[in-house]
Amino acid sequence: MTPPLRSLVHQVIRLLAILLVAPALCAQDAGPIEDDFYKLQRFEIPEDINLEVGAVEPLPDGNLAVSTRRGDIFLVSNAFSDDLAAVQFKPFATGLHEVLGLSWKDGWLYATQRCEVTRLRDTTGDGVADEFQTFNDDWGINGDYHEYAFGSPFDKDGNMWVVLCLTGSFNSDSKYRGWCLRIDSDGNSIPTCSGIRSPGGIAFNANGDAFYTDNQGPWNGTSSLKWLRPGSFQGHPGGFKWYKDAEPVLGKAPQEPESGSRIMTEAAKIPEYEPPVILFPYKKMGQSASGIACDQSGGKFGPFEKQLFVGDQTFSTVMRCFLEQVNGHYQGACFPFREGFGSGTVSVRLTEDGTMFVGGTNRGWGSRGTKPFALERLTWTGKVPFEIHEMRAKADGFELTFTQPADPTTAADPTSYDMETYTYIYQSSYGSPEVDGTAPTITKVEVSADGQSARLFVDGLQKGHVHELKAGGVRSTSGVPLLHDMAYYTLNYIPTAQD
């Protein structure tokens, strides 16, 4: 064999060895993945059903009510069964208009559609709705594609909350478009908040306070989670004309914000303005925030009791949110949680047994999930992921808690972390880039004796900024990296030293 040929043979042998050994090395070095902790299962939807899911509601008989953007409602039986082949879909109602809210109460299923809240029931026992009643229709529609309506479950006082999209992105051409209404048990509406642009979902936290997601557009630099504090202005002045009808309840319209300003600058000038609780960094955490669910399963869904989970339609994901109150306002951090849903996440519903149902569609919007629509089930496997559990603001930094004890050496090393901050222009034009960026310094980290928390001392906190934290160097006591090492805290208010 000639030397050149011998050399070529040796190179081929080495290449084959690398190709054979590399997969084993990768498998050996591969860390935990989301599926290890939260199992995702997709329901097989019959071919003759277009299940573009708008809302999901568990019913007392064990069935699941699922509504669609096409105006249908289906009853899904065996939705909690281990045997997915046993799941069946049965039509319950049809002919409605883009149902984006479902809630069960006292024998009635309440459906929030574009034009009204309708309550319906089956009086004959054949599994099909035969009685329909208008519960409330105190808002208007003019046929614009953007005039969605999202309805909540009933709150602790017996009220349903409805958030109404503007006409298009900028205007309110129909009554109460760009508003939140509460509807009492008798079907009477109560104007509650103005300033809404394009909701994607609405729900309550464990305290019973109402939150909704709003999406990037005019007066919204990026998508966000917002607190529907009664009487508040949520940021978009397009619907101010309807204060003429709401004035007996809410008084006169607030001062209009100044375009080109910053959120907290305007919050200081406009008492009614409630700044976004969490800003979801655009194209980092998603692009179209959607449904909301609160974990009140008592630990059946894992270690995140009382936290909120928020969908993103474009990214086909569910995010996790930790909230706290500072100076009487909610603010907090968002974290990646679970990706890989089949279509664009719209509805997120967590049941008491710890099952998360996620439904969605990509029609008209597009999504990373390639299916035109999907209904899926997410359950906890019983394994606890190593995650940042909470991120709390302090006068001089942040306090992190972990779901498992952290290795004290890596967790106490400031170089295990990186932080940057930025905010968004508060303006009447569409969206905003990240602006006013800074690079705070993490000067010191103190880890608790049990390894469950780390106190980050930060030089250069920025009021009104997202504080983007990467904790890529932190390990658990068993040497495992964080499952998700990113956190984004919206620091609207900096606590005082005694907080």
Predicted local confidence at residue 24, as pLDDT: 41
**Which pLDDT score, from 0 to 100, does residue 499 have?**
66
Q: What is the pLDDT of residue 416?
A: 98
The reported pLDDT for the residue numbered 13 is 38
Q: Which of 156, 405, 188, 199 is nearest to 288 (CA)?
A: 199
Three-state secondary-structure class, residue 204: strand
Grade residue 365 by pLDDT with cuts at 50, 70 and 90: confident
- Mean local confidence (pLDDT), 388-413: 98
Checking if the pLDDT of 194 tops 70, the result is yes
Q: Which two tokens stand for residue 465?
A: 């900024």
Tell me the average pLDDT across 84-100: 97
Query: What totals of helices (H) and strands (E) does the chain contain, helices first?
Result: 4, 33
What 3-state DSSP class applies to 50? coil
Return the pLDDT at 5: 46
What percent of the chain lies above the pLDDT cut of 70?
Answer: 94
**pLDDT per residue as tens digits for the range 10-53:** 444 344 433 443 444 344 456 899 999 999 999 999 999 999 99
d(CA 468, CA 213): 20
Query: What pLDDT, on a 0 to 100 scale, did the predictor assign at position 143?
Result: 86
Q: pLDDT tens digits for 209-227?
A: 999 999 999 999 999 999 9
Residue 495 token pair? 């606590």
- Looking at this protein, which amino acid is placed at residue 374? A
Do 318 and 302 contact (CB within 8 A), yes or no?
no
Q: CA-CA distance, 286 to 270, in Å (whole number)?
A: 29
| Domain 388-491, CATH class in plain words | mainly beta
Dihedral pair phi/psi, residue 465, rounded to 5°: -105, 150
CB of 491 closer than 8 Å to CB of 482: no
Q: What is the mean pLDDT of residues 449-473?
A: 98
Instruction: Tell me the C-alpha to C-alpha distance, in Å, between residue 286 and each of 148, 160, 332, 490.
Output: 20, 28, 17, 16
* 127-148 tens-digit pLDDT: 999 999 999 999 999 889 899 9
Residue holding tokens 């019959």?
46
> At residue 314, does pLDDT exceed 50?
yes
* Of 241, 104, 246, 122, nearest in space to 181 by CA: 246
Side chain identity at 320, as an amino acid letter? R
Q: Give pLDDT tens digits for 254-305.
A: 999 999 999 999 999 999 999 999 999 999 999 999 999 999 999 999 999 9
What are the CA-CA distances from residue 328 to residues 238, 275, 294, 499 (Å)? 27, 12, 21, 12
Asked if residue 405 has pLDDT above 60, the reply is yes
**How large is the average pLDDT for residues 321-328?**
98
Query: Angle CA(329)–CA(300)–CA(405) in degrees, nearest 5?
Result: 75
Span 87-101, average pLDDT:
98
Q: Which of 270, 408, 289, 455 is nearest to 360 (CA)?
A: 289
- DSSP state letter for 410: H
Residue type, 208: G
- CA distances (Å), 117 to each of 106, 143, 161, 395, in order? 16, 17, 10, 45
Specify whether the CB–CB gap between 239 and 328 falls below 8 A: no
Domain ranges of the chain: 36-380, 388-491
CATH 2.120.10.30 fits 36-380, yes or no: yes
- pLDDT tens digits, 165-184: 999 889 999 999 999 999 99
Cα gap 393→423, rounded to integer Å:
17
Average predicted confidence (pLDDT) for the chain: 94
Answering whether pTM is above 0.85, one says yes
Q: State the burial class of residue 209 (Cβ atoms within 10 Å of its Cβ: 0-12, 13-18, 19+).
A: middle
Specify the pLDDT at position 29: 52
How deeply is 329 buried, as exposed, middle or buried, from its count of CB atoms within 10 A (0-12, 13-18, 19+)?
Answer: middle
149 or 21, which is more confident: 149
